Amino acid sequence: MKIILALFFFFNSVTTLKAQEIMSPDTNAVKSIDGIVKEVLKLQSGESGKRRNWKALRNLFLPTATFTILNNSDSLQRPTETVSLDGFIELMHDDYYEKGYIEYETGKTIDEFNGIANVFQSFYGKDSENEEARGINSYQLVYFGKRWWIANLLWTLETDKVKIPKKYLRKN
């Protein structure tokens, strides 16, 4: 039964992807793991008043992708929050991001095997109020249709108690 459900979701995603490919702009970023994860940061970052290209961002992800943040604060009752692709784009329309948010890569490790990949990408982010943070994005990717797709994105921020290990701060 699990195999049947897995195949159903896979074929449903592929059918949705065919429609998405027709509607989305072509980009060279999806031809490499390095290119696609750098493109995510480029598209979600922006100075105040800059319009983001949501169509291009959608083109990087499977329609069924999930976005999960791990909040490592002891004061929070909900340590994780997960949203869909539509939910993530909706969050990016918040005033916090509309006033300006820049995020860039500071290091990365890539593990790949037979059409699947996992990327740990360390990042630095700064918002419009000059608040700064560092953290790790964890991407799960799949390769088919002559390109990479991001299946899931999970991230967490560095804390005073838990620093980013040096192995994730170097370029792969």
pLDDT digits (tens, 9 = 90+) for 113-156: 999 999 999 999 998 888 899 999 999 999 999 999 999 999 99
pTM (two decimals) = 0.78
pLDDT of amino acid 47: 78
Model confidence over 39-80: pLDDT tens digits?
999 998 877 777 778 899 999 999 999 999 898 765 556 678
Tell me the pLDDT tens digit for each residue of 79-90: 788 999 888 888
* Tokens coding 22: 């027709």
Give kind and range of the element (H or E) at residue 43. helix 33-44
Reading the block at residue 64, the tokens are: 């069924």
State which H helix or E strand residue 15 sits in: helix 2-23
Domains, the chain, with CATH or none: 2-168 (3.10.450.50)
Q: Which burial class, exposed, middle or buried, applies to 129 when counting CB atoms under 10 A from its CB (0-12, 13-18, 19+)?
A: exposed
Distance of CA 119 to the CA centre of its chain: 10
- Is the model more confident about 111 or about 14? 111
What pLDDT does residue 112 have? Answer: 97
Contact 119, 141 (CB under 8 A): yes
Q: Which of 28-32, 96-100, 160-164 has the lowest mean pLDDT?
A: 96-100
* Closest listed residue to residue 31, CA positions, set 154, 107, 171, 141: 141
CA angle 128, 104, 46 (to 5 degrees): 40
pLDDT at 139: 98
> What percent of the chain stands above pLDDT 90?
52
Give the contacts of 84 (CB within 8 A, at least 6 positions apart).
Answer: 65, 66, 67
Q: Is the pLDDT of residue 99 over 80?
A: no
